Amino acid sequence: MADSILRFEGLNYLQDKKISANVWYRKEGNKMVREENYDVVIVGCGVGGLYTALNLPSEDRILMICKEDIESCDSMLAQGGICVLRDETDYDAYFEDTMRAGHYENRKESVDIMIRSSRDVINNLLKLGVGFDKNPDGSLKYTKEGAHSQPRICFHEDITGKEITTTLQTRVKELPNVEIREYTVMTDILVEKGICTGILAKNADGDILKIHAKDTVLATGGIGGLYKHSTNFPSLTGDGLDVAKKHGVRLEHLDYVQIHPTSLYSKKPGRSFLISESTRGEGAVLLNGKGERFVDELLPRDVVTQAIEKEMEKEGSDHVWLSFKAVPEETIRNHFPHIYEECLKEGYDITKEPAPVVPAQHYFMGGIYVDHFSETTMDHLYAVGETSCNGVHGKNRLASNSLLESLVFAERAAGKIAGREDEEYESNYDAACCG
């Protein structure tokens, strides 16, 4: 749709009719400076940012930006699944599993909120069209991962993150009040009298964007791009943390970095390919160079990682082996088709032979300190997803809690921004499901 351009007080005035956002622009040297106004700006297009947008009021004007293309977010890479409280009898066990994995450094209130919100989140995802694997009777299938006392993980093959993220992307793209801009990088936040009033950013052309907003949500992901070996996209370099630190926003547990025990060993450069913990939940075992098991594969991630590193040091090797011998071939081909294919590319048929694996940086449990509504210590500034620290994970994240935590606290951020935490309001989610 063509933009209408008017002259006003020596500046060019542009009105985007789609979202009714006012845009002011001027030239500074050879660069264009644009000033825009929105109700909410969300930095990041992973599940945290997308679900925040979906739960904001349908009357709000919302801008979402992402550093690369919209597909290059770590939410896409989550394999194993998303946890859910199966029923009330599972609460105590789920709570204890999460706390034990986190070395009891978790914030108990946050853990409680996440667990008790989990069923509603799963039901909402189903309504949005997420295709979780189901039994013949239509009930959800559950799998088990390390440090879980029982199966409680919903999944879609071995690409659960991609299934959830692409579904949310599709729904958000359909919303008339949300604009998504790719290849747009936040460089700073705008602050007036100690209150966040938006962000500064640059687009692919190098133009400067001054985006004013009533509320700002940082969903910038983790820090994997700072590591030589990581399962994360290289673009995840802790941008939100840097900006928060610059303005004195409280950070927490910056040393709480999770190493995943099993990434596919490869001499090729670039991002490490994750082999989901759920493979071990289905029976895969770790072997040393002699073909001997050396650890309980379903212990917490940090414990298994330490055991692998110790074994590698003892043997003088640069990897150990993950054997799928106990996993039925049907399960490998149906539950883990993408892992199977990726291993084949590297020359390993996991239906017939083990694959070499090595630990790699995977997740960041620290981040920007937030409360139970994802509010930072700066007014009108929120943080969700891996860039935030609400205390759910403690010192070490329990497998498959990341997607759930991001979604639960994204929804709570949206409710707080709406100012109607305890009231019903017409949200984008309502439009996506019922519109």
**157, 335 in Cβ contact below 8 A?**
yes
- The question of whether 301 is a catalytic residue gets the answer yes
Residue 305 has, within 13 A of its CA and on its CB side, a CA count of 15
The H-assigned helical ranges of 46-88 are 47-55
Neighbour count for residue 89 (Cβ, 10 Å): 8
Strand partners, 210: 35, 200
User: Which helix (H) or strand (E) covers residue 190, if one does?
Assistant: strand 185-192
Q: Mapping DSSP to helix (H, G, I), strand (E, B) and coil, where does residue 8 land?
A: strand
**97, 148 in Cβ contact below 8 A?**
yes
**260, 273 in Cβ contact below 8 A?**
no
Compute, in degrees rounded to 10, the torsion defined by CA atoms 260, 261, 263, 267: 110
According to DSSP, the β-strands at 257-264 and 251-252 are: unpaired
Greatest alpha-carbon pair distance for the chain in Å reads: 78
User: Which helix (H) or strand (E) covers residue 341, if one does?
Assistant: helix 337-345
Give pairs for 134-143: CB < 8 Å, separation 24+.
140/84, 142/86, 143/80, 143/81, 143/278, 143/281, 143/282, 143/335
Neighbour count for residue 289 (Cβ, 10 Å): 14
Choose the catalytic residue: 61, 86, 171, 301.
Answer: 301
Active site residues: 301
